[in-house]
Structure 1
């Protein structure tokens, strides 16, 4: 088969995957079923999802978790907002960090909302759950990564830098997290035009990306992922699955988990 015949076939395949992904995202909408229930962004639910371990009950455990939830409004069908929480052994409260695109000053916010709160009505999903030995040292590395984030004074929802760019930076700087941001974490692939080549967002591979609009990532956590205008398509080999835009992922659970001696509450 020659190149002129292969390219149209590949584009049709990607278009089919995109339509499938959007359809699944619409079908799996995690938000309230009606506009009246969801309300405006001012009144949307922000209460605890009940998925973070009780920090008082597990006072002796160091804990790091990363969450992602559908963004507010129609964008939630295509993208997620991630954040990170942690506590050291002996602490009885979590510290939360995420990037927020509104307000004044640095876009990196500390304790902007509840550690495991709904994101404007959307229930978060656990991407990373590390506890126990070695996690205090991991937290030190995370705090250093937060301090070194190069885009603390700029924000663009598309193609970045945004909240996903922030978590991708932490993943690169702290590979022990084993952070695998989903394919619909738009902005995770953002790289300045002066540095198109570098470590992949999980810290486990390589990435070539032009402003997060065109590129490819290959890594232990990501598998193989192609980025076209912020729409990501790929195959995850670590935990077998398809990486798709809008829906994010289809396949086995890919959460990075270590030391579950402090189980999630039921």
Structure 2
């Protein structure tokens, strides 16, 4: 059987945060399709990129750029069915991410809250992903 789905990959990236929170990491997702790739993340300031919805940004920074305390690094890559499902969830986030208009460094919602929300149960961010647990403690599944 021929796979008619275009090849899609979703990558999870992280970089250390500068300043007092230098032990914490900022996470983001890259959705790659043949000929294109987009970086998706929540940022502390809304409307910082040409394509943004509240605190959610698409292509605010270069795909693999760090956030001020060293380079970014890829943590995981999904392909196949998992990547297709993740890509759809990420690309539909402007309509579905419940905390798009809210940002708090601690306990969240923040950049790591968004990434953990997008990944759902497929992957759990590590302890440096401060704000990841906000999804579990403040479960909201759709925007109100």
Query: TM class by shorter-chain length?
Result: 0.7 to 0.9
Partner of residue 21, structure 2 = 75
Partners of 1:146 and 1:128 in 2: CA distance: 23
| Secondary structure of 2:92 counterpart | helix
Find runs of 4+ consecutive structure 1 residues off by over 4 angstroms: none
Q: Do 2:15 and 2:69's aligned partners in 1 also have CA atoms closer than 8 Å? A: no
Q: Tell me by how many angstroms 1:153 deviates.
A: 0.5
Alignment of 1:1-266 (within 5 A): 61-77=7-23, 79-88=24-33, 91-104=34-47, 106-131=54-79, 133-134=80-81, 135-145=83-93, 147-172=95-120, 175=121, 178-191=122-135, 195=138
Q: Which has the larger radius of gyration?
A: 1
Partners of 1:142 and 1:191 in 2: CA distance: 15
Partners of 2:123 and 2:135 in 1: CA distance: 18
Q: Do 2:28 and 2:41's aligned partners in 1 also have CA atoms closer than 8 Å? A: yes
Partners of 2:69 and 2:113 in 1: CA distance: 23
Partners of 2:129 and 2:106 in 1: CA distance: 11
Q: CA RMSD in A?
A: 2.4
TM-score, normalised relative to structure 1: 0.44
Partners of 1:61 and 1:183 in 2: CA distance: 31
TM-score, normalised relative to structure 2: 0.76
Unaligned runs of 5+ in 1: 1-59, 199-266
Unaligned runs of 5+ in 2: 1-5, 48-52
Partners of 1:65 and 1:113 in 2: CA distance: 15
